[in-house]
């Protein structure tokens, strides 16, 4: 438990410094740039985030579970380069999309830091949180150092009343995000032969294709409502919504960043004895208290992170906070109980339900010509998805966790004389299985012992 607590503490520091550097940039921009330039900065960041998610393809979901099952640093380095090489190739195909959707400006060179921001966000590997202790520390410390340096620069800009251009603000953000990628890549390069750096791994690509449907479906979820509104409304109409959007997802990101480590804990067997309804009720109650506290203090945080001119954004922010308890509970249940490769089909159905609820909300916002109504997309999508997950758990239409699978493996091992397997350490990645759910090693052993005709 102390090891888990120290790991989560470091994860929390990483996320808080990342978020603080981003909002230090927004604060400096709100105080030094014109309102139109400030909204342009938010729009460029929103488009960059969207394109980086597109270029991620379907790699992040399997990356957490796969990296957690590679104990050797050399294996983790090889996996890191294999994944990021493919992500880089996909990002190159996505750059024309970014150029098309990137907001226009009187400064034509603004496209350069905008594209570099996409590169930095696309190659960031937050799934390194599932790596071994040494690689995890390298990743965490590099993120903390570069984010802290950018915070110091933005604080100096505010205190010295320096008035930078939009290009300068974006360039600092790019350095803060691209620096850790270069640092970690250089460290891992030492543990890997150069021949493996640019090697295309077909197995990794096939697995990413399996989770690509989930990724594409989630593009219609509430996470990308800011992008939808940038396309549907003018910048003057969505200014307040973008302020609320950035603040809400900064807070949600703290939970999301930590909850991703739930997959690593689930693989280690920490949730085998925890009933899903106990975890669901606990998350729902705790998240509701947190949402109420932030809803009350919303004006304070808007003044602190932006300026007093954006206090009106507290209303759409509160509408988003209504859906936070459902979001937190849904994410914890899926990460703790339906995280394996055989659960990808169920995750796709859950994502479809969530996206449908959000798209209906965005359509209502556009028909009413009120972009702030899209804030209810969090409640609509996460509430529908959580209802779907709970119904599936109650009706037992999805196999929760590894219990049934582990039992079949142990029974099969006893049938052929193998030592009993640790049920908490069994999953579909470490022991390949056939369509009937039995390990290939058991099948091959049976065939070997079967008397020949």
Residue 372 is encoded by which pair of tokens? 């702030």
255 has pLDDT over 90: no
Range from 37-41, 334-338, 373-377, 401-405 that averages highest in pLDDT:
373-377
2 has pLDDT over 70: no
Name which residue leads in pLDDT, 411 or 237. Answer: 237
| pLDDT at residue 402, rounded to an integer | 55
Residue 257: band (very low, low, confident or very high) from pLDDT cuts 50, 70, 90: low
282 has pLDDT over 60: yes
With a pLDDT cut of 70, the percent of the chain lying above it is: 83
Query: Distance (Å, rounded) from C-alpha 64 to C-alpha 141?
Result: 19
Does residue 178 contact residue 185 with C-beta atoms inside 8 Å? no
| pLDDT at residue 201, rounded to an integer | 80
Report CA dihedral (262, 439, 132, 55) to the nearest 10 degrees: -70
Strands (DSSP E) along 34-131, which ranges? none
Mean of pLDDT values over 286-300: 89
| pLDDT at residue 149, rounded to an integer | 94
**Phi, then psi, of 115 in degrees rounded to 5:** -70, -40
Radius of gyration of the chain (CA): 23
Residue recorded with tokens 């990413």: 208
> How many other CB atoms sit within 10 Å of the CB of residue 162?
12
Domains of the chain, by residue range, sit at 1-219, 403-449
Name which residue leads in pLDDT, 451 or 38. Answer: 38
Tens digit of each residue's pLDDT (9 = 90 or more) over 442-452:
444 444 444 44
Range from 32-41, 45-54, 213-222, 364-373 that averages highest in pLDDT:
364-373
Tens digit of each residue's pLDDT (9 = 90 or more) over 62-107:
777 777 777 788 888 888 888 888 888 888 888 887 777 777 666 7
| pLDDT at residue 268, rounded to an integer | 67
Does residue 128 contact residue 141 with C-beta atoms inside 8 Å? no
Tens digit of each residue's pLDDT (9 = 90 or more) over 187-206:
888 887 777 777 888 888 87
Question: What are the b/e assignments for 244-255, b being 16+ CB within 10 Å?
Answer: bbbbbbbbbebb
What length is written for the chain?
A: 453
| pLDDT at residue 150, rounded to an integer | 93
User: What is the rounded average pLDDT for all residues in the chain?
Assistant: 79
In this predicted structure, which of 102-111, 261-270, 318-327, 408-417 has the lowest mean pLDDT?
Answer: 408-417
Q: Is 439 helix (H, G, I), strand (E, B) or coil?
A: strand
| pLDDT at residue 366, rounded to an integer | 92
Q: Is 436 helix (H, G, I), strand (E, B) or coil?
A: coil
Mean of pLDDT values over 232-243: 81
| pLDDT at residue 227, rounded to an integer | 82
Q: What is the 8-class DSSP label of residue 327?
A: H
| pLDDT at residue 4, rounded to an integer | 62
Does residue 113 contact residue 174 with C-beta atoms inside 8 Å? yes
Mean of pLDDT values over 301-306: 76
Tens digit of each residue's pLDDT (9 = 90 or more) over 103-143:
766 677 788 888 888 888 888 887 787 777 788 888 889 99
27 has pLDDT over 80: yes
275 has pLDDT over 60: yes
> How many other CB atoms sit within 10 Å of the CB of residue 97?
15
Range from 7-11, 252-256, 330-334 that averages highest in pLDDT:
330-334
| pLDDT at residue 264, rounded to an integer | 66
Residue recorded with tokens 């997802």: 249
151 has pLDDT over 90: yes
| pLDDT at residue 172, rounded to an integer | 92
Tens digit of each residue's pLDDT (9 = 90 or more) over 379-436:
999 999 999 999 999 988 887 755 444 444 344 444 444 343 333 333 333 344 433 3
Q: Which of 423, 400, 379 is nearest to 277 (CA)?
A: 400
| pLDDT at residue 435, rounded to an integer | 35
């Amino acid at each position: 438990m102390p090891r888990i607590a120290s790991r989560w503490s470091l994860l929390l520091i990483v996320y808080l410094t990342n978020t603080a550097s981003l909002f230090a940039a927004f604060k400096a921009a709100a105080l030094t740039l014109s309102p139109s330039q400030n909204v342009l900065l938010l729009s460029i960041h929103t488009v960059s985030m969207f394109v980086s998610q597109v270029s991620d393809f379907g790699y992040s979901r399997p990356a957490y579970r796969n990296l957690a099952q590679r104990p050797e640093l050399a294996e983790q380095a090889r996996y890191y380069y294999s994944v990021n090489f493919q992500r880089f190739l996909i990002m190159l195909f996505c750059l024309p999309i970014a150029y098309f959707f990137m907001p226009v400006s009187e400064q034509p060179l603004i496209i350069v830091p905008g594209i570099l921001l996409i590169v930095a966000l696309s190659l960031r590997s937050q799934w390194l949180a599932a790596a071994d202790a040494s690689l995890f520390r390298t990743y965490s410390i590099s993120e903390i150092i570069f984010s802290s340096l950018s915070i110091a620069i933005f604080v100096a800009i505010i205190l010295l009343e320096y008035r930078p251009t939009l290009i300068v603000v974006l360039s600092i953000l790019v350095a803060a995000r691209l620096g850790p990628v270069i640092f970690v890549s250089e460290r891992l390069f030492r543990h890997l032969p150069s021949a493996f750096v640019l090697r295309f791994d077909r197995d990794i690509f096939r697995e990413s294709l399996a989770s690509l449907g989930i990724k594409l479906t989630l593009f219609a979820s509430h996470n990308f409502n800011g992008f939808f509104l940038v396309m549907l409304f003018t910048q003057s109409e969505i200014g307040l919504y973008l302020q609320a959007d950035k603040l809400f997802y900064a807070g949600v990101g703290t939970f999301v960043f930590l909850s991703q480590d739930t997959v690593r804990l689930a693989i280690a067997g920490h949730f085998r004895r925890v009933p899903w309804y106990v975890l669901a009720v606990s998350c729902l109650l705790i998240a509701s208290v947190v949402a109420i506290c932030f809803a009350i203090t919303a004006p304070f945080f808007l003044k602190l992170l932006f300026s007093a001119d954006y206090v009106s954004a507290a209303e759409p922010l509160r509408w988003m906070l209504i859906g936070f308890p459902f979001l937190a509970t849904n994410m914890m249940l899926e990460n703790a109980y339906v995280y394996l490769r055989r659960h990808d089909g169920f995750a796709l159905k859950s994502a479809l339900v969530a996206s449908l609820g959000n798209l209906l909300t965005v359509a209502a916002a556009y028909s009413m010509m009120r972009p702030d109504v899209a804030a209810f997309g969090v409640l609509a999508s996460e509430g529908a998805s959580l209802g779907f997950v709970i119904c599936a758990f109650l009706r037992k239409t999805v196999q929760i966790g590894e219990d049934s699978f582990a039992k079949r493996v142990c029974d099969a091992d006893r049938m052929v004389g193998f030592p009993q397997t640790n049920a908490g350490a069994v999953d579909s990645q470490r022991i390949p299985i056939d369509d009937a759910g039995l390990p290939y090693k058991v099948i091959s052993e049976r065939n070997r012992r079967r008397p020949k005709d």
